[in-house]
Amino acid sequence: PDENLEIDPDLRVHVDEFILRLHQLYFKSVIFYDTELFFRFVEASLAGSIESVNLIFRHPDELTSMILDRKLAHRLGLFIFYWGAKHPPKRSEINFREPMRAVVITRPRKKAFRIYYNQAHPDGNGHLSLVSWYDGDNLGLSKEPLLPPASQVYSNFHGRIFRVPVFHSPPWFWVNYENDTAANSTMDSLNSDESYANGEDEGEGDMELSEVNVTGGRDHRLLQLLAKHMNFEFVYIDTPGRTQGSLVNETFTGGIGLLRNGLGDFFLGDVSLSWERRKAIEFSFFTLADSGAFATHAPRRLNEALAILRPFKADVWPYLILTVIVSGPVFYFIIYIPFRWQADFRERQMKKKIKRTAFHMVYIQEITRMDNRVARRFAKAEGLSRRSQKAEDELPDNLFNKCIWFTVQLFLKQSCQELYHGYRAKFLMIVYWIAATYVLADVYSAQLTSQFARPAREPPINTLHRLQKAMIQDGYLLFVERESSSLEMLE
């Protein structure tokens, strides 16, 4: 406790004893005696989005102004003040304004504590309210949880008026600036209530806020629904420069500057998120799934003269043409290579057969009496056998050209004659026929029919890669709102 304050000695609690009890309950804690080191710790916690509970054994008058000046007031930081006083500070002395979360603990008597909280009501005036007490003799803690949750406190704002910075940004807001030179009486009352900006830089509290007229927009309708559901009112104020805001000389301009200086309550719309902005203001979770959408013209119809080429994609046609070209030579080698391998073997077999046949004929002529008619028949049969064997042993004339023409006719589904009676050639012809009939012809005809039934259109520009290609090759121009999340994403 501060030694300069007049406190009943019976109400003093030694700090070391309190910290010892705190560690016995396994609370992770850091002790600071240097104010600057303490503020650096709070800044590091906020930068890392880490919630911190800060117990301060000191009167809040000086520290509160320092916390507000250093922009450490945040929903993730809770400041608990206890200095052994019997009563909380007066409203005229200290004002714990939002977004600072402050708890003041008083000790009216021994073993009794009272807990005051500045966000127990949604009016936002920063006044302390009694939320709980502790009686160590018999009652203990009056209620749990110790502090009312934000979801309960801010479920109904009871007609509270919010100031919402806005500028013309369709389709989110449609703003009419015809009467932007005249200040509304409501805004005059709000401007006169800027005593709430006492701790700000010089001149910020004197900034004139003018009301603007919003005629429509998606976020305007959303804000109306929220106001009806949560029972609050709002007024639109014009943003300096009519932009979201940019960082200039370590300070923000535009709507973000109003939020930073406490002149605006919240900003609604397509606000881009960056590290610098995140350190200055707090962002809600993302609620838009189409924040990166862009609009282009409808896809145009393609030239119908090239419809015969569209059933297959451009990368398929080269392989298809190569397959048709290679099929003829493959068919030729299937017929030619086995004949080439077995040429010597067939020649030896033919000689043995002729020799055996000649021996049988001499034997028959010796043991039987043959007339001329039977001899002619045997000679004719022997000649036919030799000619057929010779035909089998010789390749057809112009076999290569015939194989090429045969495969072309087969793929074009034209009538063609069988070139060779070998089993390998027949199997390959069956494979070619199935590929030509079911894989190519039927698929191609079905695709071509659908192309004529529903005329094809150019592919839509629905990805960033297609948009980049259209801008480079087709000369498309892209228009994006300044300082928006879409511009930051595209850059």
Q: Specify the DSSP class assigned to residue 441.
A: I
Distance, in Å, from the CA atom of 169 to the CA atom of 406, rounded to the nearest integer, reads 69
Beta bridge partners of 236: 164
Element (H, E) at 390: helix 372-393
Cβ within 8 Å of residue 188, ≥6 positions away: none
Cβ within 8 Å of residue 406, ≥6 positions away: 328, 331, 416, 419
56-61 contacts, C-beta under 8 A, 24 or more apart: 56/80, 56/81, 56/82, 57/1, 57/2, 57/15, 57/82, 57/83, 58/2, 58/83, 59/2, 59/5, 59/83, 59/85, 59/89, 60/89, 60/94, 60/96, 60/102, 60/104, 61/89, 61/93, 61/94
Q: How many CA atoms lie within 13 A of 234 on its CB side?
A: 25
The SS3 of residue 171 is coil
**pLDDT at residue number 201:** 44
Q: Specify the DSSP class assigned to residue 177.
A: -
C-alpha Rg value of the chain to the nearest Å: 47
- Least Cα distance to 264 among 404, 98, 414 occurs for 98
Give pLDDT < 70 ranges for the chain: 1-16, 179-208, 285-293, 303-310, 338-397, 420-422, 451-453, 455, 481-489, 491
Task: Count other C-beta atoms under 10 Å from residue 176's C-beta.
Answer: 12
Distance, in Å, from the CA atom of 337 to the CA atom of 114, rounded to the nearest integer, reads 104
Cβ within 8 Å of residue 115, ≥6 positions away: 103, 104, 105, 130, 131, 132, 133, 134, 146, 147
**pLDDT mean across residues, the chain:** 75
pTM, full prediction = 0.54
3-class SS letters over 262-280 = CCCCCCCCCCCCCHHHHHH
Distance, in Å, from the CA atom of 39 to the CA atom of 341, rounded to the nearest integer, reads 93
Question: pLDDT by residue (tens digit) across 103-142?
Answer: 999 988 888 889 999 999 898 888 899 999 888 877 788 8
Element (H, E) at 447: helix 442-453
The domains of the chain, with CATH numbers, are 9-148 (3.40.50), 156-178+208-290 (3.40.190.10), 309-453 (no CATH)
**pLDDT at residue number 307:** 67
Distance, in Å, from the CA atom of 440 to the CA atom of 446, rounded to the nearest integer, reads 10
Q: Extract the tokens encoding 178.
A: 């015809």
Cβ within 8 Å of residue 229, ≥6 positions away: none
What is the pairing mode between strands 101-109 and 77-82?
A: parallel
Element (H, E) at 385: helix 372-393
**pLDDT at residue number 74:** 85
- Least Cα distance to 74 among 279, 288, 224 occurs for 279
Distance, in Å, from the CA atom of 328 to the CA atom of 324, rounded to the nearest integer, reads 7
Q: Phi and psi of 50, rounded to 5°?
A: -105, 125
- Least Cα distance to 340 among 328, 352, 332 occurs for 332
**pLDDT at residue number 395:** 62
